[in-house]
Structure 1
């Protein structure tokens, strides 16, 4: 994809137009104000406006918008620019996330830097300090979720850096145009009598279709483990959900804001409209075998939409880490010139009304995969799930 032709330049007129539309979109559509009740949005927007109008580069302008959106503390709100992502967002060929408080390499395309390597510093800055400095630009519903997305926001990091490794070694990295890793379609793997079905995303409808097809190849009573770890969402897989539910189930209780031009003219606040968790009946032929879901802190959005009903009605045992804690329908706005924004327009809660945003879905059996497990090729989460399946 060619970079937008306006490169690093942002006119004052364009900045003002984007700022006006951002404010209007947030005020009319944002449904998560209860999570930021202490935020003085007028003051925050004034600070943003000063920063955005004075920004010396396109990157600085984008960072001003991302700082504003991050103050909403919502994983389904954000600000994006194609040019900045193309120029400053190239890959390092690895991924880091905190595991039990230690930042570990979870994906690596460098033979000399295996998964499980613990990173203590970047360019002589401790990882905790680096995260604290970048946190104001990370739109997430919790600090835990923000840490998990830090290395997906590579424009917040220099083009070249040096990792300080546990034990005293170093590793130099530079951003490059790594070819995208292909995500395989879901297919059944067998661990003895237990079927295991990894599903890495729901972005493409083919993933849900392949998962449903895989489930239908199984005997209806077969024990099944669905591995959702690393699945950040996409489109809620309602067909897969129905194919696995052998009992009634509920989806989220949700709230949205509703207003009219007349209400705004009278200075009235938007009305909160609540939707109770609907009850769904199981379909004939749904899979009836024992079910376990593997989850971690990167499971979010549509993957949480999928997992929650199994937690609510006890259809499956959830094993692993607490999920990301961010879902709901964002309202997208095209701001022209490669810019776009999205605002969380629906706030979801568990069917009993318990808070979900920023909290996540807690597993029935908490198990962490540590850096040492990655280095050794161990998977205690899957092992625990297999133990659950073997229990009487």
Structure 2
């Protein structure tokens, strides 16, 4: 079959009627991208088969032709609206630089490399981009060295204040101010959710924290101040973390788990058998170190909690962070058991590592031939592997329960891989935006624009047969980040029912910041909306059917959320 010219393909795209199948009708920009990639791939394949001088000259000729085409007015216009098409010019110039270097045409190779610099300066990517063996003969050339130096400029220009800083017990006052300033400035430039903190004056907050960091004369005290600065932005993906050397001084916790259940703070797990005699699941925590538990949480914990929703805030206050502190200082708990008897227990804090967890990615068959799989995280493809391992049983089941109640996220792609096994439809995604240039038209008038992130083709079933039976997804306030992306897509597909509690309401993508003394911060720069444009961050995803643990169920060791799911299948 003859290959259409790009002009013919573009004309065909422009002539297609509205509503034509996207897979059969790529946009003109996509068609241009595909054409450029086709030429590059053909050149690469030809050079693998034959790389003598004639072949290299032919490759250079084809690539120069592609450069000319990318520089035509039509293609340039299309490229202004498509980053993928625009940056093909960068790729083609690199291809040309390699080919000309292999031909020994040094000046032309360096010309191509210099042209690449028009697209950007590449910072950390500089050395990988110049690593091709073809450039070995160019490395001593002054022009090559100048190119390398220019491309490396961001390593100096955008360097974090803490990039070269290691842990010390005391930092200079200049370093302490620099760390606060960098986090403040980067948030001012990149943070995506200032609307979730509508009363926050970010400049005033900076001024108020300046004397506090100046007065914090130890690194531990400094980070205790910084860790109260980030929560002002009210975002679960925007935080400041202390150096590793301080974790056991600030984040150590006893080997138990706690939770706010029906307005009572309960012990929900005891991971050290030595504590079992004096501490039981279902015990209510009445006070901590002599202070009523809710007063303690508000005064000692809440200032360090970064969250955008009430449910996420409560989870962090009463579960993740409630008992954290210095490993060398035990915590005194006032407890009340199910009979109303009150007592005190003093418990040592262990380390900053999380207490024990349940069996990961547990699978079992439940009553009524219902398959159950817990998806504990998406930090790796372990959940995808677990689904594949149990796929024969799942495919024969009358229903499927996927439990993401404890899933703190990871990579959205792993969740999409699970969904591909449940549908042949393309997997929906959030609408994602980043901040565009802030425009100051006058001294008193400033605007901010939102730019859509480049669209990525939706994932589709790559696994063949899908599970077509009814599906229930269990959610909670611990369902966070990439796990919320999973629930978002599941809802948009209308693939089944969600049961449990509203999710955390925090997804997105943060940038990382190295801070003085070895700590680090992150700031969420990606703004995600529901596929219909609705708000997710700051709200969370409400379940179709609400179901919650109760004090009675915690003490009895039962799971009312799972029971509610099974009842749904029976109906």
Give the RMSD, CA atoms, in angstroms: 2.7
Q: Which moved more, 1:23-32 or 1:274-283?
A: 274-283
Task: Between 282-291 and 295-304, report the one with greater CA deviation.
Answer: 282-291
The aligned runs of 1:15-34 (5 Å cut-off) are: 15-34=176-195
- Structure 2 residue 373 is the aligned partner of structure 1 residue 197: yes
Asked if 1:305 is matched to 2:485, the reply is yes
CA deviation after TM superposition for structure 1 residue 72, in Å: 0.2
Match of 1:149 in 2: 316
Do structure 1's residue 36 and structure 2's residue 197 form an aligned pair?
A: yes
Deviations 1:11-39 (Å, cap 9, x if unpaired)? 21321221232122212210001112221
Task: Verify: 1:377 aligned to 2:551, yes or no.
Answer: no
Mapping for residues 174-193 of structure 1, pairs under 5 Å: 174-177=348-351, 181=356, 184-192=359-367, 193=369
Q: Give the drift of 1:40.
A: 0.5
SS in 2 for 1:218: helix
**Structure 1 residue 53: deviation in Å?**
1.4
- Give the TM-score normalised by the residue count of structure 1: 0.89
Q: Which moved more, 1:349-358 or 1:227-236?
A: 349-358
Q: Out of 247, 251, 262, which is 1:100 matched to?
A: 262
| Structure 2 unaligned residues grouped into runs of 5+ | 1-164
Task: Name the one with the larger helix percent.
Answer: 2
Deviation digits for residues 300-346 of structure 1 (CA, Å, limit 9, x no counterpart): 11111111121233212111111111111111112253210000111
Q: Is the 8 A contact 1:183 1:200 kept in 2?
A: no
Residues 246 and 367 (structure 1), Cα distance of their counterparts in 2 relative to 1, 3 Å cut: farther
For 1:281 and 1:200, the matched residues in 2 are separated by: 22
Give the Cα separation in 1 of the matches to 2:482 and 2:291: 35
Aligned equivalents of 1:107 and 1:149: distance in 2? 16
Q: How many residues align?
A: 386
Deviation at 1:180, TM superposition (A): 5.8
Q: Which moved more, 1:52-61 or 1:26-35?
A: 52-61
Q: Which has the larger radius of gyration?
A: 2
- Maintained 8 Å contact 2:309/2:540: no
Paired residue secondary structure (1:368): coil
Tell whether the 8 Å contact from 2:239 to 2:522 is kept in structure 1 after alignment: yes
Equivalent position to 1:227, from 403, 408, 414: 403
Name the CA shift for 1:115/1:245 in 2 (closer, same or farther; >3 Å): farther
TM-score when normalising by structure 2: 0.63
CA distance in 1, matches of 2:287, 2:455: 45
Q: 2-side partners of 1:5 and 1:32: how far apart?
A: 31
Structure with more strand by fraction: 1
Residue 383 of structure 2 aligns to a residue whose secondary structure is helix
- What aligned pairs does 1:153-168 form with structure 2 within 5 A after superposition? 153=321, 157=325, 159-166=329-336, 167=340, 168=342
Measure, in 2, the Cα distance between the counterparts of 1:24 and 1:296. 34
Higher mean displacement: 63-72 or 213-222: 213-222
Contact residue 194 and residue 222 of structure 1 kept, 8 A: yes
Contact 1:194 1:225 in 2 (8 A): yes
Question: Aligned partners of 2:357 and 2:197: how far apart in 1?
Answer: 38
Q: 1:140 aligns with which of 304, 307, 311?
A: 307
Change (3 A) 1:99 1:179: closer
State which of 342, 347, 355 in structure 2 corresponds to 1:173: 347
For residue 233 of structure 2, give the secondary structure of its aligned residue in structure 1: coil
Q: Deviation at 1:123?
A: 1.6
Cα–Cα, structure 1 residues 95 and 27, in superposed 2: closer, same or farther, change >3 Å? Answer: same
Is 91-100 or 265-274 further displaced after alignment? 265-274
Q: Could you say if the C-alpha distance between residues 130 and 197 of structure 1 is closer, same or farther in structure 2, counting changes exceeding 3 Å?
A: same
- Segments of 5+ residues of structure 1 without an aligned counterpart are none
Task: Give 1:242's match in structure 2, choosing from 410, 417, 420.
Answer: 420
* DSSP-derived class of the 1:225 partner: strand
- For CA contacts below 8 A with separation 6 or more, give which structure has more relative contact order: 1
**What does residue 209 of structure 1 align with?**
385
1:125 aligns to 2:291 (yes or no) = yes
Where does residue 281 of structure 2 map in the other structure? 115
Deviation at 1:292, TM superposition (A): 0.5
- 8 Å CA contact 1:48–1:68 kept in 2: the answer is yes
Q: CA 1:179 to 1:350, structure 2 compared with 1: closer, same or farther past 3 Å?
A: closer
| Larger mean Cα displacement after TM superposition, 162-171 or 300-309 | 162-171
C-alpha distance in structure 2 between counterparts of 1:162 and 1:7, whole Å: 31
Do the aligned partners of residues 120 and 24 (structure 1) sit closer, same or farther apart at CA in structure 2, a change above 3 Å counting?
A: same
CA distance in 2, matches of 1:323, 1:294: 10
